[in-house]
């Protein structure tokens, strides 16, 4: 994936915010965070994941670790070093987005 920012921003109802300063892009849907990444040439992205999937992802891929500065049970940090199989990063972003949307009340869903 060449541009995580464009991919995140294109998801329905996604909003880009900067609550942690101008260097950290925070993507939200329904007011809830689904992705955090650097603004300029991001080196990694934090994504929400099913707790049952976190351990397997961390054990399987060297570029995925438990969420940096996040709840390690529910978040992963993915290094954007292009080492993941084609399409996996997009799938992880979509899964993070879907996890957040599924928890939103019906009126707040895009």
pLDDT in tens, the chain (110 residues): 458 999 999 999 999 999 999 999 999 999 999 999 999 877 999 999 999 999 999 999 999 999 888 878 899 999 999 999 989 999 999 999 999 999 988 888 88
Burial (CB count <10 Å: 0-12, 13-18, 19+), residue 98: middle
CATH number of 4-105: 3.90.1150.30
Cβ(100)–Cβ(49) under 8 Å? no
Residue 1 is predicted with a pLDDT of: 46
Q: Where are the domains of the chain?
A: 4-105
Separation CA 30–CA 16 (nearest Å):
12
Structure tokens at 89: 């990063």
Cβ(83)–Cβ(63) under 8 Å? yes
Separation CA 37–CA 104 (nearest Å):
22
């Amino acid at each position: 994936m060449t541009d995580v920012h464009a991919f995140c921003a294109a998801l329905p109802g996604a909003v880009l915010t900067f609550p942690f300063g101008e260097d950290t892009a925070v993507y939200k849907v329904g007011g809830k965070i689904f992705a955090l990444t650097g603004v300029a040439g991001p080196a990694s992205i934090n994504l929400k994941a099913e707790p049952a999937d976190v351990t397997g992802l961390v054990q399987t891929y060297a570029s995925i670790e438990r969420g940096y500065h996040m709840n390690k049970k529910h978040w992963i940090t993915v290094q954007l070093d292009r080492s993941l199989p084609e399409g996996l990063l997009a799938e992880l972003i979509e899964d993070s987005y879907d996890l957040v949307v599924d928890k939103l009340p019906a009126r707040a869903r895009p």
